[in-house]
Structures are given as structure tokens and as C-alpha cells.
Amino acid sequence: MTEVNKPPRIGGWTRFVTARPRLSLLVALVLTALAVLAGSGVADRLGAGGWEDPAAESTYATKALEREFPDSQPNLLLLVESGRSSVDDPAVAAEARRLAARLADEQGVIGVSSYWQSGAPALRATDGREALIAARITGDEKTMGETLDRIAPSYRGGHGPVEVTVGGPVAVRHEMQTTIQEDLTRAEMIALPVTLVLLVMVFGSAVAALLPLGIGIVAILGTNAVLRGLTEFTDVSVFAMNLTTALGLGLAIDYALFIVRRFREELAAGAEPLTAIGTTLRTAGRTVLFSALTVAVSLAAMLLFPQYFLRSFAYAGIAVVLLAAAAALILLPAALMLLGHRVNALDLRRLFRRGRAPKPSGEEGTAWARTATLVMRRAPFFALATTAVLILLGLPFLGVKFGTADDRQLPSSAESHVVQQHIRDGFPGSPGGGLEVLAEGRATQAQYAAYKERIAALPEVMRVDGPLVKGDAAYFAVLPKGEAVDDPAQRLVGDLRATDAPFDTKVTGTAAVLVDSKDAIAEQLPWAAAFIAVVTLFLVFLLTGSVLIPVQAVLLNALSLTAMFGAVVWVFQDGHLSGLLGFTSPGSIETTLPVLMFCVAFGLSMDYGVFLLSRIKEEHDRTGDHNEAVRHGLQRTGGLITAAAVILAVVMVAIGTSRVTNTKMLGLGIALAVLMDAMIVRSLLVPAVMRLTGRATWWAPAPLRRFHERFGLSEGEEPAPAVTQERDKVGAHG
């Protein structure tokens, strides 16, 4: 803590951000206004897909079929219900044919077919009271959505003897996109006021509480502008907007909490505002910088995956992290310079103190200090018990099953979900989820017929239609016996790809996309994990100068995520609490979700880990007392980390109120992860493990010590000579 009689130490960065604070805030206000303009309409340019590997066989086949056989790729389904009559009733059939003919005349619609035209059994429900009209809406995602909005109202509803509902992949994507936008607005309306109340409870001062919210809003608006710019060059998922809001508020609040808390500590110790800002930036500011880098590294790992769904979260996450850190390190010091001691103004807690004096600064965090003392006294018990509990909570993940995102992401009342559920329950096979085989190369009719017979003989095949031939390309439609993406359907993909043919074949369809997506993730996952681990180890070493602490940080961080993964499977795959939480379990987890949740939650856990370790390191540099440094670090940051975790959990739970299952899973899963990390790992497991490792915690071989002395950064002043000598002694005996 800064002493009153100590001369101010004002670095270049402090002078830069405090020289003209009013000008800095004015420039920030102008840039934020420009970001609002630049980011307007970003949601309308975002896609609702992105789960497929663009270099996969299934992706190539899909694009080729869309180009050569567009009629074979319907993305719009009209479910025609005839009430108590049969769909073969003359009046019903006449009305259905009229609707199909009218649909064929719509601009932007091609390839209209129906049960009444083709007589295909797959297009007729087994009870004979429902049948399908299929078509394809052309164009990109935005154009398809506009076409659907234009034509759907005139088909939806009653038409004489039939009732029509609108579904199909294009309707699912469009309804998902609209639902996410609506849910995000509602989540923001929930999160902002609740967050403000919690910040007032943490700071007391209404003025101090408003600062983190302002930083968060700047980060969110800036990231929206970045995403809008990226849509000019690449595809971006609409789901990324949820992460923008969550991390924008969560991390900005974390960083602002840390900086404002340290600034107020320095003021309470008697420092002048400028000196307090200098000390804050030199200590807490460095921690914020390291934290932002570690979070950005975790999110950047998603750039290694080919699916634009994952890459979109990297774009949004990296942008919002860097903007939140920049705002916290540039705008926040300028605001604190202008406020000075007025940062403590409007202390609303006085209304509840009833004349009691506030707790002296030296007594803050005494409960956390007692917790640290107890944990270190019983370190083996707490280390083993918390590890066992976390592993036990993660066991359900061993039974994970991977699938694709489909209509069941939407509420059961959503129209496109209703249509697909009727198809699943009442139609033979899987009309909306068959497999397609693209054959390329000149062949005779006899060769096509022989290949068709080989396909039909496969055990999981219900029926084979085709071939449709166009030039040197042909198309076969394969209908599996079971669900579109169950294990037999995935095995059928491999069987089809292994079936001999006198021409080149490519297999696509829902199950094929899933198989290829799983393969792409499995191929890149080791590289992504290695990237996160190596860069995190390096950054934590730069912060601490220790070899053991970075290893501990990575391992304990990974352990903190077990409860999240176990809960994801138990709740969202197995369907427990589905009624309470209001979702339909598809019996699987979308393939990319665990990767996304790991990268986000690992980064946030490192965020809290850096906060704790930096304060422990600062105290250890000051005193050389390992146990006291751990106790002091938890005393000073335990309440802060818990408050930050609770606030971030509130934001994530607000995101988790979404009606889209993937968003609900993301929000509630990460909320659980950050709470487990703050309340179990940082409070119990970290101090227990650091007590067990003792002085060896700070060991590093001589070459690495010299490297850290030259390039490393840490909070606080340089270590005292006695501390340096102690480190050398530990290294010599290490």
C-alpha cells in the first residue's frame, strides 16, 4: 500500500491517461457514438448456422447438389393437415395441389414437389391425415429469410379443408435467429439493473458502481461494430452476440472492480488521486492486462477450428476482451482522475448502517483470511476433498453423445419445431434428414443401377431413390431406417463412403455433416488444447517467475470445469430439469458446444486465477513469507473474486433465460463454472495446493529466473533483497 510520505511514482502510462482526462472521455464518447452507428443492423447480417466443416466431403457434396440438382435440396416444408379426413380425399388433394402450384409461382422458390404429385410414401404420415409440400428457397441466408417473411403468412393457417404450418431448415434458422435477437434484448433488460444493484452492494457508492457498467457498455457497442465490419469479409454466427453481451459486461465489470477497488484502497491509505492512479495501474492495471491476454488466448484457440460457428465466438470474444481491457486501462483512469475522492460519493449503504461506523480498512476480508488459515492448516484434506467432489460432478460427461443443432433448439411451441416434431413422430423414416449421394463421372444406366442395388442392400437403408442424372453427375437419395443422426445413421455414412462404385462418390446429409464435424473437431482439438496450455503457461510464468505456479494454474483451471461439463450432460442431454428450464432435450449435445464452453470458461477461470495469483505474488515479493502471502492474497481478493463471479453469473443466467437450448446451455453452464471456480477452486483448492507445495511454489531454474528478471512483469515494487536471496536459496536446493 502506498505510504503517505512516499514520493509519488508516476509512470509514462499514468501521465498519458491522466494528462487530459476530459478530452479522453470526450473522444471515447464520440467513438462510442460512431460504434453505435457502425454496429447498427449487425444482427440482420449474422447467420444461424456454421456447424459444418467447409472443407469436408459433405460440404462439397451439398454445394454441388445445390448447383446441379437444386430441386433435390428442399429447405422449406409445408405440413398440410386434413383434420379427420384422409390426405387422399379429393377435396383435400385438390386444395393441396392448388397450394403447391401457387408456391411454385412465388419469386425465389424452386423445386416444388408434394405427396399429391409424387405419391412418395415418405411425404405422407402413417395415419394418412398429414402430408408434405417441399420446396427450395434460393439465395443467401438473408435473402432466404426475407423470402420466407414475404410468403409464409399467405400459406400459414386454414385453407378450406386443410390447415398449413410452415417448417423446414430455412424456417428453423430464421426462427432461431429472430428468437435469439428477442432473447438477447430481454437478457440485457434483466442483467443491467440487477448488475447495478449488485455493484452498489459491493462498492456502496453509486458513483463507483456506475463506472464498471459504463466500461461494459463501451465494450459491447464497440464489439458490435467490429462484428458488423467482419460480416463484410466472412460469415459470423448470430450466437456470437450472446457472448458479446456476456463477456462485455462480465469482464468489464471484473476489470473495473479490480481497478476501482485498488484505487479506493490507495485513497484510504492517504494517497493523492494521481499517486493512487499510478499505483493502481502499476499493480491492478498490470493484472488486468495479463488477465485480458489469458482470456484472449483461450478464445483465440477457436480460430483453429474450421466451423464458422466457433470462429465467430473467437472474433467476438477477442474483440470484447481487448476493448474491455482498453476501456479499463484508458477511460477508467481518466474518469477516476476527474472524480478523485468523489468516487466514494452517494454511499447508499449508509441508509442501512443505522449509525454504525464503517469497517476499518485493515479489517476488510478478515473472514477470507480466516478461511485461508483454516484451509492451509488442513491442506491435505481440502485438496483431496475438493478434487474428489469436482471429479464426481464431472462423471456424467463420460456418457456424452454428440449430435447436431436442429429444430429442438427452439421452444416446443415454435412453429418450425412443431412441423419437424410431427415429421419425426408421424412420418416413415426421416424425410427431413435423409442422406444424399453425389456421383461424379460418366457412367451407364447399368452401372448406376448396380450401384443403387449395393446401396439398397446396406442394413440401415430403408429406401433408395434415383438416380437423377445431369451430364456427368448423378444424385441418389438414401432414406435411413431410424433417426437422422442416430448411431446407425452415422454408421451408414461410413458404409456409403466405403461402397464400391465405378465413379467418384460424395455423401452428404445431416448425419454426414455430423460425422465430418466430429472428425474436424477431433483433428484440431489437440492443437487447440496445446495452444491454450503453452501460451497460458508462458503468460503465468511472466507474471509469477515460477515454474510450478503456471502448471498448477492450468491443471486447477481445467479441474474447475468438470462440474460444468457434468451438468451439461445430466441436464441438457439426459433431460433432467427440462420441464423446469423449459427446453426439449434432443438426447445429445451439439458437437461444437463443449469446445466453445471450454474455451470461454477456461479463459474466465484464468481471469480469476490471475487476480488471486498477482496479489499473492505482490505480497510474497514484499515479505518473502509464502504462507502469509497466500493468506493475504485470499484476504484481499476473495471477496472481490466472489463478487465478480456472482455478477458474471447473473449476466450468464440472464443469457441462459433464452428460449434457444444452445444459448441456455452456454449461459447456465458458464454461470455454474465461474461460481465453482470462485467459491471452490480459488477459495479452497488453490490455497490448499499452494500450502502443500510450500517454498517450492516459487522455484525456477536459474536461466528462467534470469529470463523473468529481464522480461517478466508483476504487481508491486521490485522484490526486496532478502526475498531475492531466499528465492536463490530455494533454486539452489530445488
DSSP 603-636: HHHHHHHHHHHHHHHHHHHHH--HHHHHHHHHHH
Q: What are phi and psi of 365, to 5 degrees?
A: 75, 15
Residues 620-634 have a mean pLDDT of 91
**Which of 715, 638, 618 has its CA nearest to residue 364?**
638
Buried b (16+ CB within 10 A) or exposed e, 121-141: ebbbbeeebbbbbbbbbeeeb
In contact, 86 and 347? CB cutoff 8 Å: no
Comparing 349 with 438, the larger pLDDT belongs to 438
In contact, 328 and 256? CB cutoff 8 Å: yes
Binning pLDDT at 50, 70 and 90, where does residue 361 land? very low
Mapping DSSP onto H, E and C, the string for 646-691 reads: HHHHHHHHHHHCCCCHHHHHHHHHHHHHHHHHHHHHHHHHHHHHHH
Does the pLDDT of residue 723 top 50, yes or no?
A: no
Placement of cell 476480508 in the chain: 365
Binning pLDDT at 50, 70 and 90, where does residue 430 land? low
In contact, 51 and 518? CB cutoff 8 Å: no
Q: Where are the domains of the chain?
A: 1-41+204-347, 75-167, 424-515
The pLDDT of residue 347: 66
Binning pLDDT at 50, 70 and 90, where does residue 1 land? very low
What residue type is 491 in one-letter code? R
The pLDDT of residue 24: 80
**Which of 76, 193, 186, 67 has its CA nearest to residue 137?**
76
**Which of 719, 635, 627 has its CA nearest to residue 682?**
635
pTM, to two decimals: 0.86
Local structure of 137: helix, strand or coil: strand
Give the Cα separation of 198 and 201 in Å (integer).
5
Residues 423-435 have a mean pLDDT of 75
Give the Cα separation of 435 and 380 in Å (integer).
55
Local structure of 509: helix, strand or coil: strand
What residue type is 429 in one-letter code? G
The pLDDT of residue 547: 93
In contact, 162 and 95? CB cutoff 8 Å: yes
Beta carbons within 8 Å of 713's beta carbon, 6+ residues apart: 286, 290, 542, 543
In contact, 455 and 461? CB cutoff 8 Å: yes
Give the Cα separation of 432 and 240 in Å (integer).
27
The pLDDT of residue 432: 57
In contact, 524 and 306? CB cutoff 8 Å: yes
The pLDDT of residue 346: 67
Binning pLDDT at 50, 70 and 90, where does residue 352 land? low
The pLDDT of residue 349: 59
In contact, 131 and 164? CB cutoff 8 Å: no
Continuous H helices in 53-128? 57-68, 90-104, 115-118
Residues 348-372 have a mean pLDDT of 63
Give the Cα separation of 291 and 254 in Å (integer).
10
**Same topology for domains 75-167 and 424-515, yes or no?**
yes
**Which of 288, 290, 362, 388 has its CA nearest to residue 684?**
388
Report the CATH number of the 424-515 domain. 3.30.70.920
**Which of 258, 315, 250 has its CA nearest to residue 281?**
258
In contact, 84 and 129? CB cutoff 8 Å: yes
Local structure of 64: helix, strand or coil: helix
Comparing 431 with 290, the larger pLDDT belongs to 290
Provide the grid cell at 522: 477431433
Q: What are phi and psi of 78, to 5 degrees?
A: -105, 115
Q: Over the stretch 167-224, which tens digit does the pLDDT of each residue have?
A: 988 999 889 888 988 898 898 888 888 888 888 888 777 888 888 888 888 888 888 8
Q: Over the stretch 72-125, which tens digit does the pLDDT of each residue have?
A: 778 899 999 998 889 999 999 999 999 999 999 999 998 898 999 888 888 899
Does the pLDDT of residue 619 top 50, yes or no?
A: yes
Give the Cα separation of 291 and 284 in Å (integer).
10
Continuous H helices in 331-399? 332-339, 350-353, 366-377, 379-394
Local structure of 600: helix, strand or coil: helix
Give the burial class of 405: count Cβ atoms within 10 A of its Cβ; 0-12 exposed, 13-18 middle, 19 or more buried.
Answer: buried
Q: Kindly calculate the radius of gyration of the chain based on its CA atoms and give it in whole angstroms.
A: 30
Task: Please report, rounded to a whole number, the percentage of residues in the chain having pLDDT higher than 90.
Answer: 40
Give the Cα separation of 481 and 11 in Å (integer).
71
**461-470: strand order across its sheet:** 461-470, 473-480, 435-440, 504-509
CATH superfamily of 1-41+204-347: Multidrug efflux transporter AcrB transmembrane domain (1.20.1640.10)
Buried b (16+ CB within 10 A) or exposed e, 472-489: ebbbbbbbbbebbbbeeb
Q: Over the stretch 512-569, which tens digit does the pLDDT of each residue have?
A: 999 999 999 999 999 999 999 999 999 999 888 899 999 999 999 999 899 999 999 9
Average pLDDT over the chain reads: 86
In contact, 20 and 209? CB cutoff 8 Å: no
Q: Over the stretch 463-511, which tens digit does the pLDDT of each residue have?
A: 898 899 888 899 998 988 877 778 888 999 999 999 999 999 999 988 8
Give the Cα separation of 138 and 466 in Å (integer).
23
Give the Cα separation of 594 and 402 in Å (integer).
10
Strands 157-159, 402-403: parallel, antiparallel or unpaired by DSSP? unpaired
| Range with top average pLDDT, 139-148, 234-243, 643-652 | 643-652
In contact, 466 and 474? CB cutoff 8 Å: yes
75-167 is a CATH 3.30.450 domain: no
Report the helix count and the strand count for the chain, using DSSP H and E.
Answer: 29, 11
Q: Could you give the C-alpha distances from 150 to 48, 136, 147, 653, in angstroms and in order? A: 19, 15, 5, 35
